Amino acid sequence: MKLTVIGCGYLGATHAAAMAELGHQVLGMDIDPDKVAALNAGRAPFFERGLDELLAKHTASGQLRFTTSYAEAAAFADLHFIGVGTPQKPGEMAYDLTHLFSAARQLAPRLTGPAVIVGKCTVPVGTAPQVIDILREFAPAGDQVEVCWNPEFLRESYAVEDTLHPDRIVLGFTGENTRAESVIRQAYGRIIESGTPVIVTDLATSELVKSAANAFLATKISFINAMAEVCETSGADVQLLAEALGHDARIGRRGMRPGLGFGGGCLPKDIRGFMARAGELGADQALTFLREVDTINNRRRERMVDLAREQCNGVINGKNITVWGAAFKPDTDDIRDSPALAVAQKLHQLGATVTVFDPKALDNARKAHPQLEYADHPIEAADNADLLLHLTEWLEFTRLDPKAIAARVAAPRVIDGRGTLDPARWRAAGWAYRALGRP
């Protein structure tokens, strides 16, 4: 099939490459010429495991191309996936839907024949009908343009795998569609044939599935982090608690790692946007618990700063503090709402000299936080440190030799914000080891 993907960020670029991998002819469209140039050269403008390989393979074969032109996109196919960003509005809890509505407005006047528009971005419930209104108003093809809402559940750092092997496909329709369902089922043919469950529903339910899923994931993380707070006051160990809870199949171990909490471009803004939308709908009471989820999450960052102060004998000002990790989670270079950088920034404000190392996110961190110091190697970052903070759990940090690092620092004190360093090994190497939620 021929199809386009409008918006080529984490979601769109991965979707475009994955659809080419499924055998389709794909044109990706983005308004950013630098992004489009990189993608046409077979390179992702961000780090995502396996994506460069797919881009290189399919741009070379000619099955995948990128453009900045809406006219070219509209002429290329009659199946268009929209994957533009829906960030949080500055200073507000609600979503900024400007990019989505602008994409619909740009595409609509160029839709002269039957077309299927598939919304993939995360939106507040009730957005799809507004997209339909725009299409009805501006598309010459009128009601021959059909809309499907098809939320995306990919995780960054597993984006390629999650897109090619999703655990479910959710399709929302108006109820009036004639072609849309068969077109989209054909596009996802290989995925569906492999046994992936398909849930066909109305537009509102399909939009809500995504909001509810991210609200649940965030709640699970804040739940275990609230337990970490209780552990800290009672001498219990949250890592063992999480393991013991996880054996109950109703609770499950996955997505319940205690630590510095959630960040990134999705969970934080999605729970806020969900609350804002519930407020507009008069259902705000149903989601007040998400305010607490957000508060618990932010409290983890404050707790890390307090622990750091405690480890520095009450004075942060003038101390050398090393921060391992800048990305919001391992295996990505994404620093949006990164808990690690939030802590680093706060310590800097309190007068510490903060030196950050991250295996992939240093360039992004340098641009966003030029006031921090950076090192190109984790051990070099620890030179002369009064305190070492482990804030993003890259696997490589667990492999470093704590003895070798102890020889470089001013004082062998470490706080493990993610609970993946081995306390026995670090203590045996002479470190004073502290961790969130552990005695």
Q: Is 328 in the site for ligand UGA (CB under 6 A)?
A: yes
Burial category of 177 from C-beta neighbours within 10 Å (exposed 0-12, middle 13-18, buried 19 and up): middle
How are beta strands 432-435 and 145-149 bridged, if at all?
unpaired
What is the closest distance, in whole angstroms, from the C-beta atom of residue 11 to ligand UGA in the complex?
A: 7
Q: What is the DSSP letter of 160?
A: H
Active site residue 266: yes
- First-residue to last-residue Cα distance in the chain: 57
Residues numbered 298-327 forming contacts with ligand UGA, rule: CB under 6 A: none
How are beta strands 413-416 and 2-6 bridged, if at all?
unpaired
- Six-digit token string for 304: 């890390």
Q: Measure the CA–CA gap between 27 and 74, rounded to whole angstroms.
A: 10
For residue 52, which phi and psi values (nearest 5 degrees)?
-55, -40
The radius of gyration of the chain's CA atoms, rounded to the nearest angstrom, is 23
**DSSP alpha helix (H) spans, 259-411:** 267-281, 288-311, 339-349, 362-368, 378-381, 395-399, 402-406
Among candidate residues 324, 295, 296, the one with its CA nearest the CA of residue 385: 324
Stretch that binds ligand UGA, among 92-100, 180-188, 249-257, 425-433 (CB under 6 A): 249-257
| The only residue of 266, 343, 381, 385 in contact with ligand UGA, by rule CB under 6 A | 266
| The only residue of 108, 125, 256, 340 in contact with ligand UGA, by rule CB under 6 A | 256
Catalytic residue among 121, 231, 266, 312: 266
Stretch that binds ligand UGA, among 48-56, 99-107, 148-156, 277-285 (CB under 6 A): 148-156
What is the closest distance, in whole angstroms, from the C-beta atom of residue 208 to ligand UGA in the complex?
A: 14
What is the closest distance, in whole angstroms, from the C-beta atom of residue 151 to ligand UGA in the complex?
A: 8
Burial category of 249 from C-beta neighbours within 10 Å (exposed 0-12, middle 13-18, buried 19 and up): exposed
Residues numbered 105-124 forming contacts with ligand UGA, rule: CB under 6 A: 122
Q: Is 261 in the site for ligand UGA (CB under 6 A)?
A: yes
| The only residue of 57, 89, 155, 427 in contact with ligand UGA, by rule CB under 6 A | 155
Report helix, strand or coil for 7: coil
The residue (of 21 and 156) whose beta carbon lies closer to ligand UGA is: 156
- What is the total residue count of the chain? 439
What is the closest distance, in whole angstroms, from the C-beta atom of residue 262 to ligand UGA in the complex?
A: 3
**Which amino acid is residue 189, in one-letter code?**
G
Stretch that binds ligand UGA, among 185-193, 233-241, 254-262, 301-309 (CB under 6 A): 254-262
The residue (of 184 and 271) whose beta carbon lies closer to ligand UGA is: 271
Stretch that binds ligand UGA, among 140-148, 232-240, 258-266, 365-373 (CB under 6 A): 258-266
**∠ CA(322), CA(324), CA(325), 5° rounding?**
135
343 contacts 319 by C-beta, under 8 angstroms: no
Stretch that binds ligand UGA, among 36-44, 124-132, 153-161, 425-433 (CB under 6 A): 153-161
Stretch that binds ligand UGA, among 132-140, 189-197, 257-265, 343-351 (CB under 6 A): 257-265
**Strands lying side by side in the sheet with 413-416:** 373-374, 353-357, 320-324, 387-390, 413-416, 432-435
What is the closest distance, in whole angstroms, from the C-beta atom of residue 149 to ligand UGA in the complex?
A: 14
Neighbours of 317 (CB within 10 A): 10
Q: Is 138 in the site for ligand UGA (CB under 6 A)?
A: no
Q: What is the DSSP letter of 47?
A: -
Q: Is 267 in the site for ligand UGA (CB under 6 A)?
A: yes
Secondary-structure percent of the chain, ordered helix, strand, coil, rounded to 5: 45, 15, 40
Q: Is 329 in the site for ligand UGA (CB under 6 A)?
A: yes
Q: Is 255 in the site for ligand UGA (CB under 6 A)?
A: yes
- Six-digit token string for 328: 């919001």
Q: Measure the CA–CA gap between 221 and 328, rounded to whole angstroms.
A: 14
Q: How many residues bind ligand UGA (CB under 6 A)?
A: 22
**Strands lying side by side in the sheet with 198-202:** 64-67, 25-29, 2-6, 79-82, 115-119, 145-149, 169-173, 198-202
What is the closest distance, in whole angstroms, from the C-beta atom of residue 85 to ligand UGA in the complex?
A: 10
The residue (of 328 and 357) whose beta carbon lies closer to ligand UGA is: 328
What is the closest distance, in whole angstroms, from the C-beta atom of residue 334 to ligand UGA in the complex?
A: 8
The residue (of 11 and 147) whose beta carbon lies closer to ligand UGA is: 11
Q: Measure the CA–CA gap between 123 and 95, rounded to whole angstroms.
A: 7
Q: Is 385 in the site for ligand UGA (CB under 6 A)?
A: no
| The only residue of 138, 153, 223, 289 in contact with ligand UGA, by rule CB under 6 A | 153
What is the closest distance, in whole angstroms, from the C-beta atom of residue 114 to ligand UGA in the complex?
A: 30
Q: Is 257 in the site for ligand UGA (CB under 6 A)?
A: yes
Binding interface with ligand UGA (CB under 6 A)? 122, 152-156, 214, 217, 221, 255-257, 259, 261-264, 266-267, 270, 328-329
- Which amino acids are annotated catalytic? 266
